[in-house]
Amino acid sequence: MKPYALIFAAGLGTRLKPLTDTMPKALVPVGSVPLLERVILRLKESGYRHIVINVHHFAEQIIDFIEQNDSFGISVAISDERDLLRETGGGIKHAAHLLKSDHFLVHNVDIISDLDIPLFEEKYLEAERELLSSERPLLATILVSVRKTQRFFLFDNYNHLVGWTNIATGEVRSPFPGLDPGKCRKLAFAGIHNISERVFPLMERWPERFSIVDFYIENCDKYIIKGIEIPGLTIRDVGKIADLKQFNC
- Is residue 245 predicted with pLDDT exceeding 90? no
Architecture of domain 4-248: Alpha-Beta Complex (3.90)
- Is residue 197 predicted with pLDDT exceeding 80? yes
Q: What's residue 240's pLDDT? A: 79
Average pLDDT of the residues in 223-231: 96
Q: What's residue 249's pLDDT? A: 47
CA 166/CA 154 separation, integer angstroms: 10
Angle CA(194)–CA(100)–CA(11) in degrees, nearest 5? 60
Average pLDDT of the residues in 71-78: 98
When mean pLDDT is compared across 19-23, 64-68, 91-95, 236-240, the lowest value belongs to: 236-240
Q: What's residue 30's pLDDT? A: 92
Q: What's residue 148's pLDDT? A: 83
Enter the DSSP assignment of 160. B
Confidence label for 2 from pLDDT (cuts 50, 70 and 90): confident
- Is residue 196 predicted with pLDDT exceeding 80? yes
Average pLDDT of the residues in 133-160: 94
Helical (H) or strand (E) element with 142? strand 138-145
When mean pLDDT is compared across 43-47, 67-71, 201-205, 235-239, the lowest value belongs to: 235-239
Confidence label for 241 from pLDDT (cuts 50, 70 and 90): confident
- Is residue 132 predicted with pLDDT exceeding 60? yes
Better pLDDT: 244 or 37: 37
- Is residue 230 predicted with pLDDT exceeding 90? yes
End-to-end Cα, the chain, rounded Å: 38
CB 197 within 8 A of CB 204: no
- Is residue 40 predicted with pLDDT exceeding 80? yes
CA 227 to chain centre: 13
Does the reported pTM lie above 0.85? yes
3-state secondary structure of 243: helix
Percentage of residues of the chain with pLDDT beyond 90 = 88
Q: What's residue 164's pLDDT? A: 98
Q: What's residue 246's pLDDT? A: 65
Confidence label for 242 from pLDDT (cuts 50, 70 and 90): confident
- Is residue 237 predicted with pLDDT exceeding 90? no
Question: Helix 212-219 to helix 87-94 angle, to the nearest 10 degrees?
Answer: 90
- Is residue 173 predicted with pLDDT exceeding 60? yes
The pair phi, psi for residue 134, each rounded to 5°, is -75, 150
Average pLDDT of the residues in 125-152: 93
Q: What's residue 57's pLDDT? A: 97
